[in-house]
Chains A and B, each alone.
Chain A
Amino acid sequence: MERVPNEYGRFGDFGGKFVPETLMLPLEEIEAELDKALADESFKQEYIRILQHYSGRPTPLTFAPNLTRQVGGAKIYLKREDLNHTGAHKINNAIGQALLAKRMGKKKLIAETGAGQHGVAAATVAAHFGMDCIVFMGEEDIKRQELNVFRMKLLGAEVVPVSSGNRTLKDATNEAIRYWVAHCDDHFYMIGSVVGPHPYPKMVREFQRVIGDEAKKQFLAREGKLPNVIVACVGGGSNAIGMFYPFLQDDVRLVGVEAAGKGIDTPHHAATITKGTKGVIHGAMTYLLQDEYGQILEPYSISAGLDYPGVGPEHAYLASIGRVRYESATDDEAVAAFQLLAQTEGIIPAIESAHAVAKAVELAREMPPDETVLICLSGRGDKDVQTMMRHLGAREGEDIATVG
């Protein structure tokens, strides 16, 4: 496999920088500083130190005995990104980018958020480092994720509602980029996934690979070999690339799971690689959901964190060379997996992660008991409890365990 991205930020045909001219210099500055930082031992040590002492890394690798028994196939392990400070893998990247912003002398952060996890992570690191933080969030997502909106405000961030388009992550990202165009002289744009123009996909991957690096060591220590299959959910794809990247050269099956929403044969899904075509979104060439005239389509998923019409360009590349297989899980499959994990293991996953659980269970069932499946449990589901209540038709106060 060739080394990606190349000097133009390309992963094969994908990636690059498709942005207004105004942003070219800020991107070049970030690129230069990132390369210096990644080669700087003291930067890496500070990053690791904060991950350990502030976020709580390394996160555990948890064997799921009850789930394994119930499924009746391969052994299922969970990489517990849900146990990070703020509840998801997003904090890894937020800490890394905030450190870089600090190195560049920027004290104002811009972020976009869908489910609110990246917004919360950005607001958290802004508070930790004494920076200002402005978070763009679609009005629809604000409704779906009011708890996270409140958390961001508690942390001192300004949450800006976005009313364009479908009022979800795509529109929040547009607005964040437009705001950055106007304020790039003193603001650092902290992108929440492996999307956007070069060097963001590379940068976010480098700050998320800690997931896969840790998992590899932990798995070897526990099982004495690598997992047979690794499964992770893919919206933009940052937890997935963080998990997959250290295993790309190994003999491990890697499976990304996109949101199939109400079904990939309906218009209501976010299965970008499965159903999308090549194009440019938010500054990068990748697969995206679009109509025949190149207008970007509104995606749909029960998970606000997955309904993004594009995908990280490195995933597009890995799909194109066949190194990672991308599949999808519907809302209903994710909801069932959400309940299954909660009730077998006492772990409530983020509904994003539940998509990975759904597919992993399906795969594990077909595998022999001496094989292993590792799931990247990207976040915890506290934020999704209300969504689940609504989806399961539960009324306030009703016993949720009896529903569904």
Chain B
Amino acid sequence: MPLSVNPPLFIPFIVAGDPTPDVTIDLALALEEAGADILELGVPYSDPLADGPTIQRAAARALDGGMTLPKAIQLIGEMRKKGVNIPIILFTYYNPVLQLGEESFFALAQENGADGVLIPDLPFEESSPLRELGERFGLPLISLVAPTSKQRIERIASAAQGFLYCVSSLGVTGVRETLPETLGDFLREVKQHSRVPVAVGFGISTPGQVAMLKEVCDGVVVGSALVQKVEQLALRLQKPDEREAAVAEFAAYTRSLAAPLREPCSSR
């Protein structure tokens, strides 16, 4: 079934296996309960070209714990068994997919209840074979547009499936204090060309930013801010007697970020 979602979308990102696979499942449950509409599950990678230091560190922690692409996909299966119901998008770099085998990758993802795939280093020009394969397995390949996409926006948007991921500004993932002034215009332009919801990510870390962005797009992706929270809570999340409280703290933080999306919009 194609990924079908209704705005406004709150899309949190966490890294599979950070700090442990068990904790990742608990965090996914907490995110759903805190109002996540879609979960982006990051597959840790040794050389993440699109990520900043926060997610790099999380990936290193997860890799040290033995996380792999097949295990990350199987973790989705575990999440489903434990009651995570929201759509889950696998966020992985291309090389691990190549090594697993593209067809095996989609088959395993489908079998474990994934709902889509996002590959940040597979630009539009290189993505057709994978997009077609994804369609066969009912798993859309989420497209990205960036502020530099310019003439490419129309082409990319016309092929977009599920939702269209807008990169907020130049740069890698990571908390940013300010977003570019031109972001609103960029998002409005993307929305003109898109038939699917337009979500914005990279650098979004405060309820204020979420409130501002919901006026101009259909959803927000919050990654590094949540991953940073996981990093802060990592020790407590791994202690049996402290885990519940730490997960609750994570959920409360998530709710505070998602809250502005649930309030009535002034100009929608």
- A20, B45: Cα distance in complex, Å: 15
- A237, B212: Cα distance in complex, Å: 49
B7 in the interface (beta carbon within 8 A): no
Distance in Å from the Cβ of A173 to the closest Cβ of chain B? 9
Distance in Å from the Cβ of B79 to the closest Cβ of chain A? 20
B170 in the interface (beta carbon within 8 A): yes
Binds A, one of B24-32, B97-105, B246-254: B97-105
> Is the pair B68, A293 in contact by a Cβ cutoff of 8 Å?
yes
Output the nearest chain A residue to B122 by Cβ-Cβ distance. Answer: A18
Chain A residue total in the interface (Cβ 8 A):
36
Determine chain A's interface SS by DSSP, over half rule.
mixed
For window 58-73 of B, CB contacts with A under 8 Å fall at: 60, 63, 68-70
> Is the pair A20, B121 in contact by a Cβ cutoff of 8 Å?
yes
> Is the pair A292, B125 in contact by a Cβ cutoff of 8 Å?
no
A185 in the interface (beta carbon within 8 A): yes
> Is the pair A17, B126 in contact by a Cβ cutoff of 8 Å?
yes
> Is the pair B95, A279 in contact by a Cβ cutoff of 8 Å?
yes
> Is the pair B152, A178 in contact by a Cβ cutoff of 8 Å?
no
> Is the pair B148, A22 in contact by a Cβ cutoff of 8 Å?
yes
Distance in Å from the Cβ of A280 to the closest Cβ of chain B? 5
> Is the pair B99, A22 in contact by a Cβ cutoff of 8 Å?
no
> Is the pair A174, B49 in contact by a Cβ cutoff of 8 Å?
yes
* Complex interface bits, B133-148 against A, C-beta within 8 A gives 1, otherwise 0: 0000000000011111
B149 in the interface (beta carbon within 8 A): yes
> Is the pair A170, B47 in contact by a Cβ cutoff of 8 Å?
yes
Which residues of B lie under 8 Å from residue A24 when comparing CB positions? 123-125, 146, 148-149, 152
> Is the pair A294, B69 in contact by a Cβ cutoff of 8 Å?
yes
For window 149-201 of A, CB contacts with B under 8 Å fall at: 164-165, 170, 174, 177-178, 181-185
> Is the pair B99, A292 in contact by a Cβ cutoff of 8 Å?
yes
> Is the pair A281, B95 in contact by a Cβ cutoff of 8 Å?
yes
Which residues of A lie under 8 Å from residue B49 when comparing CB positions? 19-20, 174, 177-178, 181, 282-283
- A278, B101: Cα distance in complex, Å: 12
Which residues of B lie under 8 Å from residue A290 when comparing CB positions? 95, 99
Which residues of A lie under 8 Å from residue B97 when comparing CB positions? 294
Given A26-B148, A184-B170, A185-B170, CB of A279 within 8 Å of CB of B98: yes
> Is the pair A293, B98 in contact by a Cβ cutoff of 8 Å?
no
Which of A17, A18, A20, A182 is most buried by chain B, counting CB atoms within 10 A of its CB?
A20
Residues of A in contact with B (beta carbons under 8 Å apart): 8, 16-26, 164-165, 170, 174, 177-178, 181-185, 277-283, 290, 292-296
In order of increasing CB-CB distance, the 9 nearest A-B pairs are: A182-B171, A294-B99, A294-B96, A22-B146, A25-B148, A293-B68, A294-B95, A20-B50, A295-B46
7 contacts between A and B (CB under 8 A): A18-B121, A19-B49, A21-B123, A21-B152, A178-B172, A184-B148, A283-B49
